[in-house]
């Protein structure tokens, strides 16, 4: 994978090979990025928009990709930032208090025709939605995507120690919520 990616990066920076290389990039990462975005914004239509914006942004800046991180980390970072920007801009539009995205996100979740969870999964999503944005991100990446702390650290540019603390707090809050709701 590492060798393939190196060649892919070379092709992406070559104007003659960029189109085909970018198509390969999209095919390789679209699903992982989609699910990462979807867990943040909860709604399929929004996730679709954000995924497209992520790749458009990547296309625009692929020539400047500095290879300090892997392609995957770089794309993940763009996707995360796009998702958070989307949530924040919708908070402003609907005059929701800056610290409270849960109502906006719950509306997104219950109005989504592509949500098929049972009662327990709905409760779990409710609990996750009540977490602060960064904590929610960390929880999703660790719990659902089962990423290593070191990978998460590279994407979110946060120390491993801080991430562990974030995850523990998030898990405890969710545990409390699930216990109280049953």
Partner 1 sequence: MDELKNIAPKLSKLKKETPFRTPDNYFDDFSARLQIKLEAEKKVVPKQKSVVLRFLKPAIGLAASFAIIFMLVYWPLKTFMPSEVVETEVTIDNADSEFLNIVEGLDESSFFELLEESNGTDDLTDDDLIAYVDANFTSYEIFENIEN
Show Cβ contacts of residue 90 under 8 Å, excluding neighbours closer than 6 positions: 104
Which C-beta is closer to partner 1: that of 72 or that of 115? 115
Choose, by CB under 8 A, the member of 1, 3, 15, 27 that binds partner 1: 27
Q: What is the DSSP string of 9-33?
A: HHHHHSTTTHHHHHHHHHHHHHHHH
Phi/psi at 5 (5° precision): -65, -35
The answer to whether the beta carbons of residues 83 and 41 sit under 8 Å apart is yes
Site string for partner 1, 89-128 (x = CB under 8 A): -----------------------x-xxxxx-xxx-xx---
26 binds partner 1 (CB under 8 A): yes
Q: What does the binding site for partner 1 look like in residue numbers (CB under 8 A)? A: 22-23, 26-27, 30-31, 34-35, 38-39, 42, 44, 48, 51-52, 55-56, 59-60, 112, 114-118, 120-122, 124-125, 143-144, 168, 171-172, 174-175, 178-179
């Amino acid at each position: 994978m590492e060798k393939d990616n190196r060649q892919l990066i070379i092709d992406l920076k070559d104007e003659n090979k960029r189109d085909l290389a970018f198509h390969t990039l999209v095919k390789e990462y679209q699903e992982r990025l989609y699910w990462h975005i979807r867990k943040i914004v909860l709604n399929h239509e929004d996730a679709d928009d954000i995924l497209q914006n992520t790749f458009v942004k990547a296309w625009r800046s692929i020539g400047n990709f500095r290879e300090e991180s892997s392609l995957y980390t770089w794309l993940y970072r763009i996707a995360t930032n796009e998702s958070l920007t989307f949530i924040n801009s919708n908070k402003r539009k609907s005059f929701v208090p800056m610290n409270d995205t849960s109502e906006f996100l719950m509306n997104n979740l219950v109005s989504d025709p592509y949500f098929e969870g049972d009662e327990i999964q709905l409760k779990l999503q409710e609990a996750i939605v009540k977490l602060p944005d960064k904590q929610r991100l960390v929880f999703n990446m660790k719990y659902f995507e089962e990423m290593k702390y070191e990978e998460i650290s590279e994407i979110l540019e946060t120390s491993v120690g801080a991430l562990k603390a974030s995850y523990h707090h998030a898990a405890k809050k969710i545990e409390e919520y699930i216990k109280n709701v049953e």
